[in-house]
A and B are shown apart, each in its own frame.
Chain A
Amino acid sequence: MELIVVFISASIIHNFVLTYFLGLCPFVGVSNKTENALNMGMATTFVMTLTAAATWPVYHYILLRFNIPFLEYVSFIIIIAALVQLVEMYVRKSSPTLYRALGIYLPLITTNCAVLGLALFMVLRDYTYIKSIIFGFGTGVGFTIALLMMSGIREELEFADIPKHFQGIAITMIVAGMMALAFMGFAGLLH
């Protein structure tokens, strides 16, 4: 039961993009086509789940054990960069079709602050191992949902008559603001 709560909270109620402003660069950058958004979302979800699975043992069994928690940031970012590299190599070998679809997005995930944010929140909230993995997966699903919704809206926006100075990023931000308002409605789900 608790795991379901963690999952729903991470994916919808406390959506990383719309409540913590994490992962905004890809949110703005690749949300112009639904297909790209879906691919990016899937790749990020995958890396996020792996990140949660890999950083938890490192933090609890290495950093805490040897009393060096100040190395937290350096070690987390190295783990994430290494994971992204590994995933890229694996996907390139095993499935060239998928690699072509994800290709350019994979390296971008390293600098996606949502991935590092996920690892930091996981430590701050003191989750257990299973919970951390569910949290990572839920965060990725939430990121994908936000990205997909935004890309759908932006495809429609291309045909809308927008004031000149609001075109492009400005209108995207305002639409995101409205989505954030709408997502606040989910806040009552958990109490």
Chain B
Amino acid sequence: MKRIFIFGALALLLAGCSSQLDQIRPKDKISSAAVNEADLSKLTNGILNRMESLTVSFWCDGDYLGENFTAGPGFDYADVHGEIVSSSSSWAKSRWQTGFVAIMHINELLKSANSASAESAATLQAKGTAYFCRAYVYYELVSRFGGVPILTEPSMGVVPISPEADVWAQIIADLHEAEKYLDSVSNVYRPSDEACWALLSKAYLWTGDKAKAIEYADKLINSKFVLSKTSNEFAGMFVAGQSSKEIIFALANKRSSSFLRIFEKMNDTDASFNYSMAEELRTDLFADKNGTGDIRKDPTYNPAFPVRIIKFPNGGQNMGQFIANEDPSASPIMVFRLADAYLTKAEAQGASAGLATMKTFMESRYASVNLPSSMGDKEFQNLVLDENNREFYAEGRRWFDIKRTKRTDLYKTWNGRDHLLYWPIPQDEIDLVGKEAYPQNPGY
């Protein structure tokens, strides 16, 4: 009898367990089938989270390639333009991949929003955010590569490269679409009508539609934003807990993990970081040519700490920081501010009408402005480019300003390589889809 009991007990071990195989699942993820309409606002947040990391990973391109930087302590650079001279450039590949991965996620959000049954606030926000972000990512791509594949929905297939003009047209169309769903700005950390106008004015500037560029810049200038007028106000736009009235759109960057830290690249608390201000800019950039008492000088550069670009304060002490930063890792990521509108408008207006725009703008940035009553076209363009660089130094603009204005003469090590204005299509991507779909840009 005992024997049978023991047998019976042991036989329990023979029980099958195949149903267990279906029950294994990750604890921090859910099946995509389980995501529903109620989750739209969370998916929207996910896209903005992605925009944060995308923006930071693209951040330094315009300054580094624009000869604004020299090697920071512990680094050494040879030919800065060399980063994009070859089709195997890791820069080209990573920007391309980061951009298109983001496009897929945005298109997935749009797909979910479009299939939503109700036109709730969350649905509108999702659609507006998706259209805006798609335009924003395409803006980053087209200004680097020129023509790129246009995807308005997720696709596993090969989508050939479209001409540059089509990409700009798509950007403008997306922004107009976004406007329909978005509201006027109430929270600068969310896309708004004003954010769309800022990007529209830039897109029109790039495509040469100056009237439209001015129109959208004016809409911003005439709205509720206010230019910073003191160094503290200016510096305050880049630190955690900012309350600036100049910001049109910024990314919140309040993260609890995977921190994004722009200051690490040029003002790290560690003794080694990638970038310092280019040697000649240390004396030239804020040389007070067109005005004195530039409020941006001290928040950007401290001659006592020559290796540091202090625009993005690291929160550390004894490192020449202009202002404190309570939580450097949670500093907002600037995207558009009112200065964008003025400088875009002035560039679109040209010398005759633009000088007044520049004067208005510069009067808030300088203690006293010293501008002639009239300027030649080239002289004015130089002024606008210089002001752009003073305003947006270390914010990744310089190379793109020079590309847009075709002023490669301002580079010291360009050596006539005008083909570099269009980055190479990554060779790895060409290898995967073929040369027919992705013809290489000329010169590579």
Q: State yes or no: do A and B come from one complex.
A: no
